[in-house]
Amino acid sequence: MFAMPDHAQPPVSRTTPVERVELASSIKPASPARVYAVQAGDSLWSIAQRFYGNPLMWSHIYYANQSQIHDPNEIYPGQELVIPNTGTTSTTTNASSGTTSTASAAPAQASPPSSRTSYLQQAAQGTGLPEPVVAAQVRVESNFQSGAVSPAGAEGPYQFMPSTWATLGFPAGQEYDWATSTHAYVSFMRLLLAWSGGNVRQALAAYNAGQANWQAGLGYADQILSMAGQG
């Protein structure tokens, strides 16, 4: 089970740049319920805590306001931000199960099906990770199968555990949808990259074994980086 740190926040500084993800229309946040004027000292993290009671849901506000927020670390007093409803028209995914075996019984695929490529590109753009790294990770996690379920209960192409999915604030019932699971992956990996100070190997290890036990996931991280030609 993946454990989320209490102190994880949207990236404040990083050694690996994280680009802005362009969301597909199918995963835009639900209709907005209110507008909030940013106050001095606010961050997306603190605003999410104020309106949702869960700071990890900062990405919902970010995605709803991309026309005026170009960097999630930079918001300014006086900006009027749409605060969307907590539900999104996205998929569900479960956090990493702590195992390097794929959840799918299908034969291993060396490269993703063409129908999945756009989602992997979106995930790479949203996290700043090289696309081969994202592709290798999804290959290890689910073998590119959206219906994959691990023995530990991790689900979907990015293999999120239910507890992590719920903590991230995504709605139940869409665990196997590629569009929403990609949205969740981007949010999650941004948090891990911020937590690790931009250390990709450490972030990947934590995805697998949890922040508190990330060293146990180094074999998983090295496998992915080697498959991606980054080792």
pLDDT of 21-43, one tens digit each? Answer: 333 333 343 444 689 999 998 98
Query: Among 3.10.350.10, 2.60.120.430, 3.40.120.10, 3.40.980.10, what is the CATH number of 29-84?
Result: 3.10.350.10
Residue 91: partners with Cβ closer than 8 Å, 6 or more residues away = 27, 156, 170, 174, 175, 176, 177, 178, 179, 180, 181, 182, 183, 184
Read off the pLDDT of residues 120-153 as tens digits, 9 standing for 90 and up: 999 999 999 999 999 999 998 998 999 988 888 8
What is the residue extent of each domain of the chain?
A: 1-28+88-231, 29-84
Q: Is 7's pLDDT higher than 90?
A: no
The pLDDT value recorded for residue 91 is 31
| Greatest mean pLDDT among 21-25, 165-169, 213-217 | 213-217
Residue 204: exposure state from Cβ atoms within 10 A (0-12, 13-18, ≥19) = buried
User: How is domain 1-28+88-231 classified at the CATH fold level?
Assistant: Lysozyme (1.10.530)
Would the pTM count as exceeding 0.75?
no
Which pLDDT belongs to residue 178? 92
Write the burial class of residue 164 (CB in 10 Å: 0-12 exposed, 13-18 middle, 19+ buried): buried
Point out the least confidently predicted range of 25-39, 152-166, 176-190. Answer: 25-39
Which residues fall within 8 angstroms of residue 159, CB to CB, at 6 or more apart? 93, 94, 95, 96, 97, 103, 141, 142, 148, 150
